[in-house]
Amino acid sequence: MTGAYVTAGEDYKRDMNYVTTRITADGRDGFAVEPGRYRLVVSRACPWANRAIIVRRLLGLEDVLSMGVAGPTHDARSWTFDLDPDGRDPVLGYERLQEAYFALDPDYPRGITVPAIVDVTTGKLVTNDFDQLTRDLSGEWTAYQREGAPDLFPADLHDEQESVMRRVFTEVNNGVYRCGFAGSQETYEAAYERLWTAMDWLEDRLATRRYLMGERITEADVRLFTTLVRFDPVYHGHFKCNRNKLTEMPNLWAYARDLFQTPGFGDTVDFDHIKAHYYVVHADINPTRIVPAGPSLDNWLEPHGRDGLPTDTWGSGGTAPGPVAEAERVDPAHTPLR
């Protein structure tokens, strides 16, 4: 994501107007699923992009959907490909993700956000709809998913899962931003109350369930994890979500460590990118742009103790993803998973 700012006196409202074109098996929007045709552009700093990275990895789509990684910081114009040796994405040839948006619409009026999928054949943005994007990786790319890929949207859990994901999004994923970008004491306190009501609900829910929906991992876990892994390094202090730390909530902290140590989750997380993004880009919140040295990360590898809960982690016939491709490994200096 990009373009979040404090507006004095106002509640934070996320702009949810995205390019909603879909890539589908039947190509009904003009974009059919096709190996090698599309490029997923992400930043490891962004929680919404982190979702897409995790889902792509869990489903084993690395060989059919390439991934470009933008740097953790950006200016008011766009995410940039400053991690690449010549400052250009090696597939798209772009210096800025903005170029793909303007190739679609030269007058594109909104924020330049990640995740984004770009049509390599034209260089144009196809979609930046982060919610639908991962749903389609699960539901439309089935012909190219790895053997043993988990079903992240099990039919028997559909209604309950949608309800849980809706609450996680409004109250937690977006709730931390509502706290961080509150424009008044009153709006901040209301946002803070909403966030911690939801966090307490999750703490209770996870007392008897290994995962949000019970015995197996679903996309609900992916969506919650990307906020939890950023909570103590960023949201607790930077966004003033400081009733307590994640490490002080026994069930949520054990659950977060459990997922972090699961292939496909922690191996996508770059803590240096996360901290650099929030503390450097959000100059209206952190005008000095000083990036905190802490917290210590080694505790993410401590035993989580959740093995005794009812478990069918990958679902019937499902398996864990294999090792991360060397080209997509997180810098070992940026993660405790060395």
Sequence-distant (6+) residues with CB within 8 A of 216 are 150, 154, 311, 312, 313, 314, 315, 318
Among residues 106, 125, 144, which one ends one of the domains?
Answer: 144
The CATH number of the domain holding residue 290 is 1.20.1050.10
Which residues participate in the annotated binding site? 79
Residue 182 and residue 140 share a domain: no
The label of the residue with tokens 């107007």 reads 17
Q: How confident is the model at residue 77 (pLDDT cuts 50, 70, 90)?
A: confident
Q: 220 near 207, Cβ under 8 Å? A: no
Mean pLDDT for 72-101 is 94
Whether 9 maps to a domain, the answer reads no
Which residues participate in the annotated binding site for glutathione? 79
Give pLDDT tens digits for 205-229.
999 999 999 999 999 999 999 999 9
Cα–Cα distance for residue pair 303/145, rounded to 1 Å: 31
pLDDT confidence of residue 4: 60
Question: From the candidates 12, 38, 46, 255, which is the catalytic residue?
Answer: 46
Question: From the candidates 94, 101, 177, 188, which is the catalytic residue?
Answer: 177
Is 241 known to be catalytic? no
Whether 323 maps to a domain, the answer reads yes
Is 179 known to be catalytic? no
pTM (2 d.p.): 0.96
Whether 26 maps to a domain, the answer reads no
